[in-house]
Amino acid sequence: MISPGASRVSTPISACSGCRRRGPAMFRKILIANRGEIACRIARTCQRLGVAVSTVHSTADADALHVKVIGESIGIGGAPASESYLRIDAVIAAAKTTGAEAIHPGFGFLAENTDFARAVEAAGLVFIGPTPDTIERLGDKASAKREAVAAGVPTVPGSEAPSEDRLEVEGIVRRLALPVMLKAAAGGGGKGMRAIATYDGLADEIESAMREARNAFGDAGLIVEKLILQGRHIEVQIAGDGDGNVIHLFERECTLQRRHQKLIEEAPAANLAPGLRQRILDDAVRLGRRLRYRGVGTVEFIVAGTDYYFLEVNPRLQVEHPVTEMVTGIDIVEAMLRIAAGEGLPVKQDEVFCQGHAIEARICAEDPNDSFMPSTGELAHVRFPSSGIRVETGVESRSIVTPYYDSMLAKLIAYAASRDQALDQLDRALGETSIFGVITNRDFLRRLLALPATRAATFHTRLIDERIDALVTVTGAIDPEPLAVGAYFWMMRQRATASSNPWQSGSLTGWQMAAADDGLSPIPILHLETAGDSAEIRFAPLQPDGSMLIGVDDVKIQVRLSPLADDMFAATVNARCETVRIVQQDQAIFVHDPRRAQTMTAIPYLRYISTAAEISGELRAPMTGVVLKINVTVGSRVKAGDPTVVMESMKMELRIASEVDGVVTAVHFKPGETVERNAVVAVVEPDLIPQ
């Protein structure tokens, strides 16, 4: 078997006789035309094989981790992907400049672009992937569907061809019985997809899907298919040598999705009847043979009971490929390199075995408690498990999460002898992961892993939507304990820089701190804000044993912190002792205890009460992004809830709605302009409320 060469893999994977070091046919140097974690992951295999690597970067990624890890990178343009990672001419010029013989596209960006694959070959370079002809035949979901039909693979009822005509798409939707799915014909990753369960607002949904598809893939074409509500998403990893020899590397379960984006993937699929599994594997291989498939690819199916239907073929490396590597021991990136170099398939079908169970979780910069709004900013601190887990990431402490690219920060992959063990291992790894500075879906993923349907593998693709209330944090009473821990940390940092008697320091309160009977200051010293809530903090003097009584509003909590190493502290909170991580960046304090990771903003109380801002009627951008559409002009009347501005961030459309009834008095941006987080995009003068 071929070692994946993964960082932090708990179980070593030995090499088989089919695994060879760089031979005469292997490339001397390749260019990785991608960014982030996948660029780092591809580079790792290349370095193990003795293949030199170079990469590319946009202006936003000049200091990115993949640039540092790879060591040689060419700047190819501005921050938007259309000005950099999607520029075919710039990528090929970078390959020529660095002396690369071949280009690996990774996933996303140009990975499934026929013009790019042809341009690479025309430049005398090798495209590490399928032939341009194969990419073209699979280049949109409609043509791929025709190939599946020709191969005798069952397909979902729906469109025969993609369309960019809104009225034509609407007509197809109305001819099919609801519910249906709109799909961007030219790409994947959940972009340009809309589930349609009602005809209300259909035209807007079609236009939105087309815009998203055009922005993500440069092609607004949509297909329409019957929506299978209670299905499972099963995909098969295939590999072919281009001469008709195709094998499978078994299947993956990718059913746990939100907005058609996968969150948890595993291999093999659980509770899949052996006969059904074999039919799916056989169909995937048969389709690959019909295509004379070269390289690696993924054939995706939707499974409903004992029936299954072809969805699409992704002619590239998949985000979730590590789970297949873990259960087969085959380095899929190495297989891609060897096939592209003309060495053929590295293994035969009867040499491929599936052992153990692997599960992957995608950690994304998004807020599940705010409709999964993307989160951007500087990562104040990043720490992953140091052992027992495979980590694939493109970020580190001080990395900048921008609005220009996908929100995924890292993938954690657990491998164990059984599925239950792998689930437990992944949950522990998520609990040990700290990412401070942006909001992530880490806690959401832990709740998802704990659902009975997840543990029993009785899930379907709509599970997250159906159980969303159990998966997001229910707004309720503020938990005072992490705030008390954060407040203690803040005060000890203040003491380190305050006067010799900080309890008399006007820099902290403005008043002399005469203590009450319990020692707490009579007035608040600190204002803490977290997750839409806030609390006023009072402090008692530090005790000889290092503990301190802290008042969080009306709750009194005894806290003591003892430094362990770096960001680690031994915390005693009342009678409970535990290990916590704490990091402060400017006003932000990040506290990660065994139950949660919480961000709080610390504002000295005097400063807080002296600051007031009138924001009524101001419509602000929830995050940095690009304006797509302005629905109002100065003088327009709007009602509360009316969408005024449509913007895009991290390839997702965001609609900014008025919070009041009134008249638009100002519009500060135009379509195409970049808006910074919290910028006022428009102003609505509220209607006067009758007295």
Q: Could you identify the residue written with the tokens 């056989």?
A: 282
Torsion of CA 126, 130, 133, 138, to 10 degrees: -150
Say which residues have a Cβ less than 8 Å from residue 188's Cβ, sequence separation at least 6.
Answer: 112, 312, 314
* Token pair recorded at residue 260: 């058609």
416 in Cβ contact with 380 (< 8 Å): no
62: number of Cβ within 10 Å: 11
Say which residues have a Cβ less than 8 Å from residue 253's Cβ, sequence separation at least 6.
Answer: 232, 233, 234, 265, 266, 267, 268, 269, 270, 272, 457
232-to-282, 305, 357, 457 alpha-carbon distances in Å: 18, 9, 18, 10
296 in Cβ contact with 326 (< 8 Å): no
- Catalytic residue, from 316, 383, 442, 581: name it: 316
Phi and psi at residue 36, in whole multiples of 5°? 65, -150
* Token pair recorded at residue 196: 């349609």
Alpha carbon distance 235, 232 (integer Å):
10
Q: What is the 3-state secondary structure (H, E, C) of 11-53?
A: CCCCCCCCCCCCCCCCCCEEEECCCHHHHHHHHHHHHHHCCEE
* Token pair recorded at residue 379: 């990562």
203 in Cβ contact with 251 (< 8 Å): no
315 cis-preceded (ω within 30 degrees of 0): no
For the chain, how many helices (H) and strands (E)? 18, 38
621-to-374, 630, 683 alpha-carbon distances in Å: 12, 13, 12
What's the distance, Cα to Cα, between the start and end of the chain in Å? 79
Could you give the 3-state DSSP secondary structure of residue 489? helix
Whether 316 is catalytic? yes
Alpha carbon distance 569, 582 (integer Å):
7
DSSP β-ladder status, 662-667 and 637-638: antiparallel
Which alpha helices (H) appear in 102-233, and where do they start and end? 114-122, 132-137, 141-150, 166-175, 202-217
Phi and psi at residue 150, in whole multiples of 5°? -65, -30
Instruction: Tell me the catalytic residues.
Output: 316
